Structure 1
Amino acid sequence: MDIKKIDTRHATQNRFELSRGNSFPFTGYPFAMNYFSLETDAGNWWFDPQSQHFRGIRLTHQPTMWAGTKGDFCSLRILPVTQETQGLMDVAYNSRKSEFHPNVLSIYQDVNELTTKVIPSEFGGTMLLKGASRGKGIILSFPAAGKLDMSDECVIRGRAQQSSVRSEAPLELFFEISVSTKISTRQDIDEEHTQFVFEGDEIELRIGTSYISYEYAHNNIPKKSEEELYQDITDCWNQKLNKVLVNDSCEERVSTFYHSLYRAFLYPQRMFEFDKDHRPVHFDMHSGQTRPGYLYTNNGLWDTARTVYPLFSLIEKDEFEKILEGFLNVYREGGYLPKWLAPDDGGGMPGNLIDTVIADAAQKNIRLDLMPEFLEAMIHSAEDVSQGLPLGRIFCNEYNRYGYVPSDMNESVNNSLDYSYSDYCIYVVAKKLDQEAVAQKYCQRAMNYRNLFSPEDGFMVARDRNGKFRSRFDPYSWGGDYTEGSAWQSTFAVPQDIRGLINLYGGKDEFEKVVVKLANSDPKYHVGGYGHVIHEMAEMEINKFGQINIGNQPSFHLPYLYSFIGKSFYMQPLLKQIMTKLFNSGWEAYPGDEDNGSMASWFIFSSLGFYPFTAGSNQYVIGMPLFDRVIITLSSGKKLTILTERNNDQAQFIDSILIDNKPYVESYLNQALFEKDTEIKYTLGIVPNPRCISSASIPYSLSDAEKDTSILV
């Protein structure tokens, strides 16, 4: 894959009312400490791909639009100007003559024929101002907060600051800009903007940044030439993207895949640097000290746990191992495993789904050396309420007392179900560590989801402290007891035990009626606890896949439910339609918020034909392949080859499966297949073949695993 074919403006055409990705056009290394982007507008949605004006090139750490303007902590804005545009805060640019790629950002201004070219390094980058002959310079400002501390003939130093502070030690990004020529004038335009004008025709700025000190920022200024820096970042991105080689007759679908793969490698962002002995160090936002080891930020684990980290376990194990250590450092320094890091933990969203990341890693034998301490941290979150910020399981006392979170607590149903899933994850890790008593305790608690199932209503329904289900139940009402959805999206959030859920419905036949209605219903909703239409409601209505709101994380696993009733052929056309109708490589690329690589990774898995339905089970549910040929280089160095014959638009079903030239009729793939060179060959058909996948082959459920301990390996 040629990195120049990736346009970073992918999924950036959005607004408050409707998300088609809610992404930013980031240029920088994979998992970079900083990204460079173009700022065209004020506010949360500060980039519009259709805008013909820009306010500056932003050095950014923006995790999501929803973090707000000040959520782009420690950010810096650099607006290139010439004599014609000096003093202006918003200038025209030519988007057709500009370049937006992961390895280079180049902005062309017609009015003065000025080209500004940015090539990132690991901790900074170079910015070359070329073309215009008179008065080239820059205007520096801070989107959130910051200070310019000094400037001399050839150096500018400052600190971009964290506006919204939750931890004890506010974060600062120290930066040093080394200018290739003399600064002829410095002018404070107002309290927020400072203009520097340089001597000479071609100006190169070399930028170093650090969360630790000016000394580190100075040492982080790139030393290599522009050509060498360009080659380094290009090679790095090509190495990442070429982990998966996709061939298909439809170029647009291939492009969609690689744009999603680019997005999967953006988060979480590194917060560590290297000391003089090239050992990783980071700034501890609780003590204000420099600590050894890795640290990462900008991740909503409620979103990313479902898809991003299972993907990393397959193709990005080296970085994943560092990320796990970084998450453990969050626990060591802040007292709880992270929930929503930006840059420190704000505790956003229900549950504590980092537990699923840990369980999945444990089952795949990734960083087993960390698992004893991770288990300690998981149990701490499950048993001890945080004081102050909503970290860990904020309703764990109520959950542990009642077996569910009572209805007077916010988002009680989703919190209850996510806690139950986390209990399963503790069970997995404890079992891996041969701590049988702990495993059995949390295995029992992993069944707590049953306490909210209302046989009368046929959904997961909130209960009060006396055990009474909420009266006047409305399955289409959003919010209140549910998170970004209604009972339709939330009821099935028990991926650890779908077989047990089926039993609550009275068996496969009754469950089949429900999941058929799930897809075949109108995308109906009542605003409920939100009191107004939120963008997820609008997206479900526009996307028109019934109550399967694939534009939001709680629905990610819903298309795969049909495997659990032995009817995989139900979901095959459903998945193909979702992938081909709701995803593309353009500016309106996704059916909802992309969210730190989570939706990109959903598309990657689904297009490959398998999905990590239950973390920690070592299984992937077979779905529907999208491409003619895929060769995946796994982290182990082994190759997974996926071939799809008769792969045309009218072929909506899998007719047969061969694995290493042998017929395969199971509804899932085991992790063992990914530990050796394997070839999976699908042949598609126009009508369903119910015998292709055995109706007796049902993916993992905890209820079954407890009967047959060989299932959990």
Structure 2
Amino acid sequence: MKLIKILFPLIVLVTTAVVAQSNTGVSYVDYVNPLVGSDSEFALSNGNTYPAIATPWGMNFWTPQTGKMGDGWGYTYDALKLRGFKQTHQPSPWINDYAAFSLFPETGKLKINEDERASWYSHKAEISKPHYYSAYLADYDVTTEITPTERGAQFRFTFPESKKSHILVDGFFKGSMVKIIPEERKIIGYCRNNSGGVPGNFHNYFVLVFDKDFDEILTWKKEKEEKEQTSYNKVAEGYHVGAAISFSTKDGEQVTAKVASSFISLEQAEINLKREIGDDTFNQTKEKAAAAWNKELGRMEVAGGTVEEYRTFYTALYRVLLFPRKFYELNAANEIVHYSPYNGEVLPGYMFTDNGFWDTFRAVFPFFTIMYPEYLSNVMQGLVNTYNESGWLPEWASPGHRDCMIGSNSAINIADAYLRGIRGYDIETLYEAVVKNSTRKGPVNSVGRFGAEFYNNLGYVPYDVGVNENAARTLEYAFADWSIAELGEALGKPKKQVKLFRERSLNYKNVFDPKIGFMRGKNKDGSWATTYTPDKWGDAFTEGAAWHWTWCVFHDPLGLAEDFGGVAKMRSRLDDVFTAAPTFNDSYYGQQIHEITEMLVADMGQYAHGNQPIQHAIYLYNWLEQPWKTQMHVRNVMDKLYSSAPDGLCGDEDNGQTSAWYVFSAAGFYPVTPGTGEYALGSPLFKSVKMHLRNGKTFTVNAPNNSKENIYIDEVQKNGNSYTKNYITYDDIMSGATYNFSMKNTPNKSRGTAKEAKPYSMSVTKK
């Protein structure tokens, strides 16, 4: 213990020095903690994440399993036992998993039931990195190691001396098959478990190859309410099946399993295994996975912070680079193909999934626009394929259309990508799709626009017509309409059509009540809903209250200020968010939902950073002539609500959005209005941030006198010249500009207050 106390400060000093260097040899994965956010449960979320052992945007993730099969909380930090190491595709516990199966080693008496086989383990004997996971199973004296590829992984099990060592392959419930092929040291099979959004022929085919002969084999089968029935048959198929292989081991003997899967076929799973792993050793796969992560994490190079700030930053960046996942494969001819989660066919081209645009339109996709234009181009091609295969754009895909959240926010990111010059996809088809989206509801309420007929005729979705969360829908549809108008204008679409969408983008005004200074639900006859209170969660809003949704006018903050009665009145109400008592009205839900609890425990008034609708609001002071308040609040949120620890997130992480907020904010700016190519200034966290762009240039933010006290911007220079605006531009970033920030411990209340300093707002004609 004393030795650790002596060495730790030395380690910190060395670590700080290494990270501070612009050195391509830096192992960024060593600063990532995949356990972040895993200290969560149904009642309170600190992220609602699990340790995803994966490559960036991998088709498959792997994770240790503490929860029961089918539990959305598959890994929770305070659990005491592990029951499996599973392939997972879960984007959030609320959406739950699909195509999961697991491996698990044992010694002694073979235990198949997941409750009975679960082993004690400790975080003291656990290593979790993006490219590598290890855990010691105390009940069996076995260490399990995992290292991933895009569509597979290698497992390495270190056994004790035992005449009865086993490895289980659990195919999970809702339909599975296993087949043991002893002469090839192989197990093949499939699993069909899912939580919705799949065609009838959905399968995840898997193949596992071991490097040790099997002494004994066993399969088991379980129907819904029955116990497991074991046999020595090589094949099992049914509701829930699995396989076990057994052998004797020497002390310290390592057994390796190479595994890959496919949504197309068993043959394709074999192709994936051969292509991605082949003859590689476990350590070679591990080195490749680490290199993949270091390449992507290293595109953001930060210096001049604490070790914990580096850890928090790169952990957040890791989270941003997980979704939307690749849902395509390369066939024997090296052609890109995909199983369609929409029509069940195997088709050419890209496909991506596990993404909710309701979350990711805010910062994740704007980050891709800057840092990953090629990847985003492929995602856009995937959206074209989704539309062609289902007739609709996805809003929450996992793997197909899921009825979750609101809005038609795919339009926002399609417009932003095209307007920023990203090409390589059929934009005409996507324009057709976003226009169709605006006309009616799709196959589920979250696809297309639920309540579109009212919105298009009345200018809002009424409170009393049976469309839930109506005011929130109105606000999100309005911003999507602004995006469609901008895209239509860029594509040279008929002026009448562009004008229609631009006029509809002002529909936010129809659910704003200037008498009270809040958004609220409005009835079909034009009267205000009488059940309203500003702190009523749900009802007219989505997972929030008027305190949070009033600011969701991304494209026209100054137009909203006019409705308030002026900048000063809007600013006063925004100030109230952070000082008002954290009251809440949960009558719509009938209980205190976890998002409410997360707001309460943060002790930040009515500010609810744990849920996405209000995350941009801090930056609105850039429009409201007091940008120094943005700087103050941004740094407070970064310091208070984020860390690399298991409770280091607040609320639902949801596909990387909450982490993307941190990545942008730590760099000193944030995309309040995707589609404009402008990013509102905040308060950079580090003394230096370098963004190494795909065009070969580097965008740099320097803040040399930055500190925990010096959080306020005194002056800004762009390429050596004085810069007085409250935003930076996409063109400046892409050109590799250098911004120098002079920071102080007291606010400069004169900088950024002029009209010319304000970012884009639709109601103001900009010169």
Question: Scaled by the length of structure 2, what TM-score is found?
Answer: 0.89
The answer for the alignment partner of 2:486 in structure 1 is: 428
Residue number among 149, 154, 158 corresponding to 1:126 in the alignment: 154
Q: Distance in 1 between matches of 2:436 and 2:517?
A: 34
Equivalent position amino acid for 2:74 in 1 = W
Indicate the SS of the match to 1:198.
strand
2:550 counterpart of 1:491: yes
Indicate the SS of the match to 1:398.
helix
The answer for the alignment partner of 2:663 in structure 1 is: 604
Q: Is the 8 A contact 1:52 1:95 kept in 2?
A: no
Q: CA deviation at 1:698?
A: 1.3
Deviation per CA, 1:597-653, whole angstroms, max 9, x where unpaired?
A: 100000001111101010111100011111111111022221111111322222231
Q: Is the 8 A contact 2:52 2:62 kept in 1?
A: yes
The answer for the alignment partner of 2:763 in structure 1 is: 703
2:246 counterpart of 1:197: yes
Indicate the SS of the match to 1:468.
coil
The answer for the alignment partner of 1:115 in structure 2 is: 143
Q: CA deviation at 1:285?
A: 2.7
Q: Is the 8 A contact 1:144 1:163 kept in 2?
A: no
Q: Distance in 1 between matches of 2:81 and 2:512?
A: 54
Runs of 4+ residues over 6 Å off in structure 1: none
Residue number among 610, 613, 622 corresponding to 2:681 in the alignment: 622
Q: Distance in 1 between matches of 2:548 and 2:687?
A: 32
Q: Distance in 2 between matches of 1:371 and 1:276?
A: 30
Moved more, 135-144 or 587-596: 135-144
Q: Distance in 1 between matches of 2:682 and 2:671?
A: 10
Q: CA deviation at 1:355?
A: 1.2
Change (3 A) 1:174 1:136: same
Q: Is the 8 A contact 2:377 2:424 kept in 1?
A: no
Q: CA deviation at 1:238?
A: 0.3
Deviation per CA, 1:250-280, whole angstroms, max 9, x where unpaired?
A: 1111110000001111111111000122121
Q: CA deviation at 1:375?
A: 0.7
Q: Distance in 2 between matches of 1:352 and 1:490?
A: 16
Q: CA deviation at 1:427?
A: 0.6
Q: CA deviation at 1:346?
A: 1.1
Q: Is the 8 A contact 1:170 1:285 kept in 2?
A: no
Residue number among 303, 310, 319 corresponding to 2:375 in the alignment: 319
Residue number among 139, 144, 155 corresponding to 2:168 in the alignment: 139
Q: Distance in 1 between matches of 2:306 and 2:420?
A: 34
2:41 counterpart of 1:15: yes
Q: Distance in 2 between matches of 1:580 and 1:225?
A: 42
Deviation per CA, 1:139-164, whole angstroms, max 9, x where unpaired?
A: 22244434224112121111111333
- Unmatched tracts of structure 2, length 5 or more: 1-25, 221-227, 230-239
Q: Is the 8 A contact 2:622 2:752 kept in 1?
A: no
The answer for the alignment partner of 2:713 in structure 1 is: 654
Indicate the SS of the match to 1:117.
strand
Structure 1 residues 326-337: aligned runs within 5 Å: 326-337=382-393
Q: Distance in 2 between matches of 1:576 and 1:282?
A: 43
Q: CA deviation at 1:457?
A: 2.4
Change (3 A) 1:364 1:188: same
Identity of aligned residues (%): 27
Q: Is the 8 A contact 2:47 2:649 kept in 1?
A: yes
Change (3 A) 1:614 1:587: same
Q: CA deviation at 1:297?
A: 1.1
Q: Distance in 2 between matches of 1:211 and 1:167?
A: 11
- Unmatched tracts of structure 1, length 5 or more: none
Change (3 A) 1:286 1:641: closer
Indicate the SS of the match to 1:236.
helix
Q: Distance in 2 between matches of 1:687 and 1:425?
A: 38
Equivalent position amino acid for 1:217 in 2 = A
Q: Is the 8 A contact 1:301 1:354 kept in 2?
A: yes
Residue number among 360, 367, 370 corresponding to 2:416 in the alignment: 360
The answer for the alignment partner of 1:24 in structure 2 is: 50
Q: Distance in 1 between matches of 2:675 and 2:636?
A: 29
Indicate the SS of the match to 1:205.
strand
Deviation per CA, 1:452-509, whole angstroms, max 9, x where unpaired?
A: 1112222112111111111253111111111111111011111011111111111112
Equivalent position amino acid for 1:8 in 2 = P
CA RMSD after TM alignment? 1.7
Deviation per CA, 1:45-97, whole angstroms, max 9, x where unpaired?
A: 22122334200101111110112xxx311100211112266554201234323
Q: Distance in 1 between matches of 2:445 and 2:591?
A: 27
Q: Is the 8 A contact 1:338 1:347 kept in 2?
A: no
The answer for the alignment partner of 1:90 in structure 2 is: 118
Indicate the SS of the match to 1:513.
helix
The answer for the alignment partner of 2:186 in structure 1 is: 155
Residue number among 369, 374, 399 corresponding to 2:455 in the alignment: 399
Q: Distance in 1 between matches of 2:546 and 2:696?
A: 43
Equivalent position amino acid for 2:761 in 1 = S
The answer for the alignment partner of 1:670 in structure 2 is: 729
Indicate the SS of the match to 1:503.
helix
The answer for the alignment partner of 1:462 in structure 2 is: 521
Question: Scaled by the length of structure 1, what TM-score is found?
Answer: 0.96
2:272 counterpart of 1:210: no
Q: Is the 8 A contact 1:188 1:195 kept in 2?
A: yes
The answer for the alignment partner of 2:16 in structure 1 is: none
The answer for the alignment partner of 2:128 in structure 1 is: 100
Q: Distance in 2 between matches of 1:641 and 1:287?
A: 45
Q: Is the 8 A contact 2:305 2:685 kept in 1?
A: no
Q: Is the 8 A contact 1:168 1:287 kept in 2?
A: yes
The answer for the alignment partner of 2:653 in structure 1 is: 594
Deviation per CA, 1:25-45, whole angstroms, max 9, x where unpaired?
A: 011111011111100122322
Q: CA deviation at 1:387?
A: 4.5
Q: Is the 8 A contact 1:85 1:91 kept in 2?
A: no
Q: Is the 8 A contact 2:84 2:104 kept in 1?
A: yes
The answer for the alignment partner of 1:174 in structure 2 is: 205
Indicate the SS of the match to 2:588.
helix
2:616 counterpart of 1:560: no
Equivalent position amino acid for 1:291 in 2 = L
Indicate the SS of the match to 1:74.
coil
Indicate the SS of the match to 2:499.
helix
2:601 counterpart of 1:542: yes
Moved more, 258-267 or 153-162: 153-162
Change (3 A) 1:492 1:116: same
Q: Is the 8 A contact 2:358 2:407 kept in 1?
A: yes
2:683 counterpart of 1:631: no
The answer for the alignment partner of 1:248 in structure 2 is: 304
Q: Distance in 1 between matches of 2:675 and 2:707?
A: 34
Structure 1 residues 578-589: aligned runs within 5 Å: 578-589=637-648
Deviation per CA, 1:298-331, whole angstroms, max 9, x where unpaired?
A: 1111011111000111112222211121122111
The answer for the alignment partner of 1:382 in structure 2 is: 438
Equivalent position amino acid for 1:34 in 2 = N
Q: Distance in 2 between matches of 1:537 and 1:149?
A: 44
